[in-house]
């Protein structure tokens, strides 16, 4: 409930997991080790931010994974072969996101289902673009993603920048405040003469924008794409937002927390491979880590929470 | 709101499940028009059979979704897989173990349902994340137990699951019976009242004396039991359990509930619509297949149809 | 009925708002039926009428939320910068503070100001917003302890209402000229309500105008320069406040106020009250047939004590047919009403387990129970199968009363159940409670209004979450309650 405690959990869970990884594999405690650990975290963090934009306005996006896959396919094909057309397609997909947001609000549709439908659409488009894995990453993205800044690896720098910028945009700016207000009390926003439809479309457009960034970055790392490349991002991004202290309703989100949550999830995969766990239990252990971290959340949310009626906070 | 105009237009087919059945009929006729009416019986029988699986898991998901925003069971696929693999390995093809195998499958459902509920209740994890994380555990458990072996179901069970009585597939009969039972529970029983009250306003439900935690626990267990029962049937029907046998039912179970006209905002459920949605999901895919569309177009069309149905069916807006 | 123009007192200035012949129809219902009303600078108009009289509709027409089907609205300060609806009204300095809270609980106090104040953009908007809201809070509620950076969800109900009021009066892109206050004091305790009333008077003296809606007659008489009485969508009387008496006002609204608060006698309550039936860790106790009041300043732990008690004695599957306690909610939307359901289903919810056989609901018995209570408690509807939301607030409240009283629970817990309920319904509810107590029911009754607390046999006064005094019989007086509420407390705010 309380803003102060909200950020503690993601910080703590990331720290603990990082400490565990370093303990198991001391060599990870280096420039290259960190780069390796967090390399794939950048697109996950961006996808989590995209999901957060939707959760911020009390909706949920089940199409993030297929959308990022679609963007990856566009990046590895059109953006590489015909950059202008590629950019146009990506802009159009952001507009499509905005249109979906408007449609959901105007017709009062359940976002969970519309985005479920959209996940089929994006998935289908991705299959049409790249029926089998392939394509190539544009050289400039490769360059950006493999830059080696001094002292701290690119992945960490990128995550700090993403967290900082989205914090400014969502938590500090007046537009971000208005968007969060939609999640908190859309009726009050409408009563003050704002168009909630436009605001929701804006939030969805932001989600589309960050989804595009996630897809482009992903291809920059993997150098090629396939239609199923990011399917698991849907569930990862939802888990990341919640892990980061966000809540499904009420416009309570934290961009910094979301990035930290995404890092934690990315790290959990590396942690398990260092554990030399039997492959049978790899998935299960991810579930267990998720449960464990959320159980710790209980301790934080209990503190400072006043008794405020029935316990369906 | 501006929905009032739309609602007058849409007032004719008032029932929220109308669209699902209407669209199913269109998809069915569109498929048959290609073959000039041949194979209509086979298509119908296949649709009824495969829709049974979606309908049974969909009914479980419906109960959960009726509990209101945030309540959804993402562990359905993993529970199906776990129950399917465990019960088939236990029966090991022996006909006299069919019923104990069923009991085992149900027991798996009860256990996963209780586990899901405990995560939600004791650790206060939002249901979406709780059932998702738990499903990873179930998935691992199934992998570990099964080790990729494909064990055949007892012959009698396989025959039953692919057989039919008077032209109606046995699975359809089971699916319809479960739907009827669910309808009675929702519309006529006190438990149905409580589920609906929970979904409309949990706090008010608690304050009017409803044992809300019992209601929630039973609902999650019910969903898991229906999923595990489906897993048992599906594994028997398809000649063995596979580790990915439940995967497609994650999205289908949710899609079926909403296409069927249940309110995702909670409190409002609709049993006939589940069958309508289940039939539609199958018939659309077979229609697109028979028109020779590739996987990409098929996916796009499926998505577009889901959105179109939902947009048409819930034009009246929420009752907020 | 004659339509009053409302320009009772002539003011030299241009009126801030003028409705002429405004009608609003919702389907067949005429929510507003030819209302003409002007508000001029310096006026404080008390808008009176019981639930469903058309007050909210009139207010929504004035603030641009509704467009009248007939007639029109004119604003005095229209500067040609057109816009429509709510935006147009806002540009003319019309501000509304609504009964139901319209803040965003996830935002901080200053961030909430961003929603109505469109000019808060660009660099430094936070500083401007903080200055505006802090300025208004300091001016209206000196001694408040609200920081602009606090998250609204972490504030108490009273503090939220203070923020909402302050936001209404805060200076912004256009200065507030006419502020509409709809039940502004419903969650405030007496001392803070007083600060507000004083501010309203200052505001009007400086040339602002206020439309004041409250069911607290005392408050209305204290601030209003003119009182407009509404009934059935029309204004039926509009006179300077000094020409009304409290009794006359109630009569005008169409209800006969029953002045029989002291009707119960010591003998009567002696016969009624039996042995102790409950005791809570806070020290709250009650006997069979007793009406026990919980009083004190709003937000001092009364509602929490009731909720804790109710939660500890309910919700067990084994006892649904024979509940120990039943609950009457005051905050209907949050704690009571099932919005998708009919009146009948809402009414029978608590008692329903006793009307089931093998888990199935006996529909005939349910209908009978509903019909019985419709008659007993006087729910104004022609069909119990209508949606609960088709009823007015007061009638919804009756349904919630019936829900609790229809059960067999020997203890009934009431959490400020008369919030926003009209005088007539209140009297009916008082009678009902007394009758039920005579049958041996015990009532735990939290109320923010002293005249309700005075209906009780015994009263516990709460302060800072603890019981500070127990009053009974003739000791239950406003003075004693206030003394116990404020004792040893330097700051009232």
B95 touches chain A (CB under 8 A): no
Q: Considering only A112-121, A130-139, C313-322, which range has the smallest mean pLDDT?
A: C313-322
Q: What is the mean pLDDT of residues A282-286?
A: 81
Nearest CA in chain C to B203: C335
Residues in B touching C345 (Cβ below 8 Å) = 193
Q: What is the mean pLDDT of residues C29-58?
A: 83
- Judge: A117–B135 Cβ closer than 8 Å, yes or no: no
| Percent of chain C predicted with pLDDT > 70 | 88
Residues of chain B with pLDDT under 70: 1-14, 148, 313-320
Query: What's the rounded Cα separation, in Å, for the pair B162 and B156?
Result: 10
Residues in A touching B263 (Cβ below 8 Å) = 110
How close, in Å, is residue A68 to chain C by CA atoms? Answer: 29
Is the per-residue pLDDT at A302 higher than 80?
no
Those residues whose C-beta lies under 8 Å from the C-beta of residue C12, and which sit 6 or more positions away, are none
Domains in chain A, please, with CATH?
Answer: 3-302 (1.10.3470)
Neighbours of B49 (CB within 10 A): 20
What's the pLDDT tens digit per position in C129-178? Answer: 999 999 999 999 998 889 999 999 888 878 988 999 999 999 888 889 99
Per-residue confidence band for C3, with pLDDT thresholds at 50, 70 and 90: very low
- Judge: C359–B191 Cβ closer than 8 Å, yes or no: yes
- Prediction pTM value: 0.78
Residues in A touching B298 (Cβ below 8 Å) = 124
Most confident of A296-305, C102-111, C470-479: C102-111
Listed by start position, the domains of chain C span 17-253, 266-486
pLDDT at A180: 96
| Better pLDDT: C83 or B80 | B80
Query: What's the rounded Cα separation, in Å, for the pair A271 and B148?
Result: 26
Tokens of C19: 């409705």
* β-pair type (C70-75, C94-97): unpaired
Q: How far is CA C102 from the centre of its chain?
A: 14
DSSP, residue by residue, C356-374? EETTEE-HHHHHHHHHHHH
Preferred mutation among A61, A110, A128, A197 to probe B, highest tally of B CBs within 10 A: A110
What's the pLDDT tens digit per position in A70-106? Answer: 999 999 999 999 999 999 999 999 999 999 999 999 9
| Better pLDDT: C92 or C420 | C92
* β-pair type (C234-240, C276-279): unpaired
Q: What is the mean pLDDT of residues C198-218?
A: 89
Residues in A touching C120 (Cβ below 8 Å) = 174
Give A88's strand partners. Answer: none
B316 touches chain C (CB under 8 A): no
**Strands (DSSP E) along C218-371, which ranges?**
226-231, 234-240, 276-279, 285-287, 291-296, 325-328, 356-357, 360-361
C157 touches chain A (CB under 8 A): no
Is the per-residue pLDDT at C489 higher than 50?
no
Preferred mutation among B209, B268, B317 to probe C, highest tally of C CBs within 10 A: B209
DSSP, residue by residue, C103-150? S-TTSBHHHHHHTT-TT--STTHHHHHHHHHHHHHHHHSTT----TTS
B318 touches chain C (CB under 8 A): no
φ/ψ of C326, rounded to 5, equals -125, 155
- Judge: C103–A251 Cβ closer than 8 Å, yes or no: no
Question: At A308, is the secondary structure helix, strand, or coil?
Answer: coil
Could you tell me which of C423, C481, C425 has the C-alpha nearest to residue C450?
C481
DSSP H helical segments within C43-124, as ranges?
55-62, 85-91, 109-114
Query: What's the rounded Cα separation, in Å, for the pair C484 and C477?
Result: 11
**Strands (DSSP E) along C389-432, which ranges?**
411-415
Q: What is the mean pLDDT of residues C53-64?
A: 85
Tokens of B27: 């998809």
Q: What is the DSSP letter of C14?
A: P
Q: What is the mean pLDDT of residues A287-301?
A: 77
Q: Which residue carries 């939002």 as its tokens?
A: B126
Q: Considering only A208-212, B212-216, C392-396, C420-424, which range has the smallest mean pLDDT?
A: C420-424
pLDDT at C260: 41
B12 touches chain C (CB under 8 A): no
Q: What is the mean pLDDT of residues A141-156?
A: 88
pLDDT at A5: 67
Tokens of B219: 């609902």
φ/ψ of C212, rounded to 5, equals -115, 115
pLDDT at C254: 60
- Asked whether C403 and C374 are in contact (CB, 8 A), the reply is no
How many Cα atoms sit within 13 Å of C233 on the Cβ side? 14
pLDDT at C51: 56
- Asked whether A109 and A259 are in contact (CB, 8 A), the reply is no
pLDDT at C486: 62
- Judge: B1–A108 Cβ closer than 8 Å, yes or no: yes
Cα torsion angle, C440, C446, C452, C454, sign:
positive
- Judge: C308–A252 Cβ closer than 8 Å, yes or no: no
- Judge: C104–A184 Cβ closer than 8 Å, yes or no: yes
Residues in C touching A6 (Cβ below 8 Å) = none
- Asked whether C283 and C308 are in contact (CB, 8 A), the reply is no
Could you tell me which of C419, C410, C444, C472 has the C-alpha nearest to residue C307?
C444
- Judge: C339–B188 Cβ closer than 8 Å, yes or no: no
| Percent of chain A predicted with pLDDT > 90 | 50
For A178, the closest of C86, C87, C114 (CB atoms) is C114
Mean residue pLDDT across chain C: 82
Which CATH number is correct for C17-253, 3.40.50.300, 3.10.350.10, 3.40.190.10, 1.10.260.40?
Answer: 3.40.50.300
- Measured in Å, how far apart are chain C's first and last C-alpha atoms? 45
Which CATH number is correct for C266-486, 3.40.50.300, 2.60.40.420, 3.40.630.10, 3.50.50.60?
Answer: 3.40.50.300
Tokens of A134: 């392939």
The class level of CATH for B3-32+39-313 reads mainly alpha
Question: At C31, is the secondary structure helix, strand, or coil?
Answer: strand
Listed by start position, the domains of chain B span 3-32+39-313
How close, in Å, is residue B224 to chain C by CA atoms? Answer: 21
How close, in Å, is residue B80 to chain C by CA atoms? Answer: 29
Cα torsion angle, B140, B144, B150, B152, sign:
negative
Strand order across the C291-296 sheet: C325-328, C411-415, C442-446, C291-296, C458-463, C466-472
């Amino acid at each position: 409930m309380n803003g102060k405690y909200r950020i503690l959990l993601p910080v703590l869970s990331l720290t603990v997991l990082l400490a565990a990884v370093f303990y198991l594999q001391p060599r990870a405690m280096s420039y290259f080790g960190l780069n390796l650990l967090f390399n794939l975290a950048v697109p996950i963090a961006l996808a989590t931010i995209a999901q957060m934009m939707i959760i911020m306005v009390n909706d949920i996006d089940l199409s993030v994974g297929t959308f990022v896959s679609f963007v990856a396919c566009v990046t590895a094909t059109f953006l590489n072969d015909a950059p202008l057309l590629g950019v146009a397609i990506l802009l159009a997909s952001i507009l499509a996101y905005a249109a979906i947001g408007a449609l959901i609000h105007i017709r009062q549709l359940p976002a969970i289902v519309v985005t479920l439908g959209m996940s089929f659409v994006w998935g289908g488009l991705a299959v049409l673009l790249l029926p089998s894995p392939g394509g190539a990453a544009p050289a400039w993205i490769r360059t950006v993603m493999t830059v080696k800044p001094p002292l701290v690896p690119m992945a960490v720098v990128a995550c700090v920048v993403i967290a900082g910028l989205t914090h400014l945009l969502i938590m500090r700016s007046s537009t971000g405040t208005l968007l969060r207000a939609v999640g908190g009390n859309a009726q009050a926003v409408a009563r003050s003469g704002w168009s909630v439809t436009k605001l929701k479309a804006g939030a969805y457009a932001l989600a589309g924008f960050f989804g595009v960034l996630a897809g482009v970055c992903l291809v920059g790392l993997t150098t090629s794409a396939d239609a199923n490349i990011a399917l698991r991002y849907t569930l990862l991004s939802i888990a990341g937002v919640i892990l980061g202290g966000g809540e499904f309703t009420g416009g309570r989100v934290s961009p910094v927390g979301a990035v930290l949550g995404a890092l934690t999830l990315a790290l959990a995969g590396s942690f398990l491979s260092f554990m030399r766990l039997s492959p049978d239990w790899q998935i299960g252990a991810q579930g267990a880590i998720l449960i464990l971290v959320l159980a710790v959340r209980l301790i934080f949310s209990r503190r400072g929470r006043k008794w405020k009626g029935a316990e369906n906070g | 709101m501006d929905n009032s105009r739309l609602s007058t237009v849409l007032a004719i087919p008032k029932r929220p499940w109308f669209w699902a059945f209407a669209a199913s009929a269109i998809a069915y006729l569109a498929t048959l028009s290609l073959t000039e009416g041949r194979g209509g019986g086979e298509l119908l029988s296949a649709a009824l059979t495969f829709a049974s699986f979606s309908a049974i898991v969909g009914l479980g998901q419906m109960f959960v979704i009726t509990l209101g925003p945030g309540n959804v069971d993402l562990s359905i696929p993993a529970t199906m897989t776990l129950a399917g693999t465990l019960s088939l390995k236990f029966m090991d093809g022996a006909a006299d173990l069919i019923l104990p195998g069923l009991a085992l499958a149900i027991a798996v459902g009860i256990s996963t349902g209780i586990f899901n509920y405990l995560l939600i209740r004791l650790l206060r994890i939002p249901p979406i994340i709780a059932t998702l994380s738990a499903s990873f555990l179930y998935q691992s458990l199934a992998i570990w137990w099964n080790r990729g072996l494909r064990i055949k179901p007892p012959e009698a069970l396989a025959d039953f699951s692919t057989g039919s009585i008077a032209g109606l597939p046995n699975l359809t009969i089971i699916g319809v019976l479960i739907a009827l039972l669910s309808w009675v529970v929702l519309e006529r029983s006190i438990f149905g009242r409580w589920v609906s009250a929970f979904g409309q306003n949990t706090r008010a439900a608690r304050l009017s004396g409803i044992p809300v935690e019992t209601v929630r626990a039973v609902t999650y267990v019910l969903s898991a039991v229906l999923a595990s029962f489906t897993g048992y049937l599906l594994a028997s029907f398809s000649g063995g359990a596979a580790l990915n046998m439940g995967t497609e039912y994650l999205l289908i179970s949710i899609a079926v509930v909403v296409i069927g006209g249940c309110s995702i905002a909670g409190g409002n459920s609709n049993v006939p619509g589940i069958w309508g949605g289940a039939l539609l999901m199958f018939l659309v895919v077979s229609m697109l297949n028979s028109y020779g569309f590739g996987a990409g177009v098929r996916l796009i069309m499926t998505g577009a149809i889901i959105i179109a149905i939902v947009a048409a069916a819930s034009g009246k807006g929420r009752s907020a | 009925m004659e339509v009053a123009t409302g320009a009772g007192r002539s003011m030299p200035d241009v009126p801030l708002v003028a409705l002429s012949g405004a009608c609003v129809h919702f389907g067949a219902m005429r929510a507003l039926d030819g209302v003409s009303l002007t508000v001029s600078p310096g006026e404080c108009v008390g808008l009176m009428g019981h639930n469903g009289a058309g007050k909210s509709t009139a207010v929504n027409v004035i603030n641009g939320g509704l467009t009248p089907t007939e007639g029109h609205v004119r604003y005095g300060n229209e500067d040609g910068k057109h816009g429509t609806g709510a935006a147009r009204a806002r540009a003319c300095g019309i501000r509304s503070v609504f009964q139901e809270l319209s803040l965003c609980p996830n935002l901080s106090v200053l961030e909430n100001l961003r929603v109505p104040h469109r000019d808060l953009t660009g660099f430094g908007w936070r500083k401007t917003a903080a200055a505006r809201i802090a300025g208004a809070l300091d001016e209206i509620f000196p001694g408040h302890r609200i920081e602009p950076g606090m998250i609204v969800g972490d504030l108490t109900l009273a503090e939220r209402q203070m923020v909402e009021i302050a936001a209404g009066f805060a200076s912004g892109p256009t200065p507030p000229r006419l502020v509409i206050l709809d039940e502004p004091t419903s969650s405030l305790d007496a001392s803070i309500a007083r600060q507000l009333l004083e501010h309203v008077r200052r505001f009007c003296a400086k040339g602002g105008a206020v439309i004041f809606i409250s069911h607290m007659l005392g408050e209305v008489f204290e601030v209003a320069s003119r009182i407009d009485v509404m009934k059935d969508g029309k204004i039926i009387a509009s006179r300077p406040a000094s020409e009304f008496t409290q009794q006359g006002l109630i009569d005008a609204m169409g209800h006969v106020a029953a002045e029989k608060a002291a009707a119960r006698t010591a003998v009567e309550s002696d016969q009624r009250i039996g042995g102790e039936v409950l005791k809570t860790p806070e020290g709250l106790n009650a006997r069979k047939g007793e009406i026990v009041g919980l009083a004190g300043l709003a937000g001092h732990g009364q509602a929490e004590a009731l909720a804790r008690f109710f939660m500890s004695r309910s919700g067990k599957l084994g006892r649904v047919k024979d509940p120990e306690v039943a609950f009457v909610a005051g905050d209907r939307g949050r704690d009571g009403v099932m919005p998708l359901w009919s009146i009948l289903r809402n009414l029978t919810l608590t008692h329903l387990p006793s009307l089931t056989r093998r888990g199935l609901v006996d529909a005939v018995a349910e209908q009978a129970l509903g019909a019985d209570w419709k008659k007993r408690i006087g729910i104004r509807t022609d069909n119990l199968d209508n949606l609960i939301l088709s009823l007015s607030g007061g009638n919804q409240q009756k349904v919630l009363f019936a829900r609790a009283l229809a059960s067999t629970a020997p203890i009934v817990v009431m959490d400020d159940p008369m919030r926003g309920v009209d005088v007539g319904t209140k009297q009916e509810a008082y009678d009902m409670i007394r009758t039920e107590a005579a049958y041996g029911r015990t009532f735990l009754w939290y109320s923010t209004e002293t005249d309700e607390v005075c209906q009780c046999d015994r009263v516990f006064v709460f302060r800072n979450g603890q019981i500070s005094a127990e009053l009974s019989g003739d000791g239950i007086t406003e003075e004693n309650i206030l003394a116990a509420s404020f004792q040893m407390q330097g700051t009232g705010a």
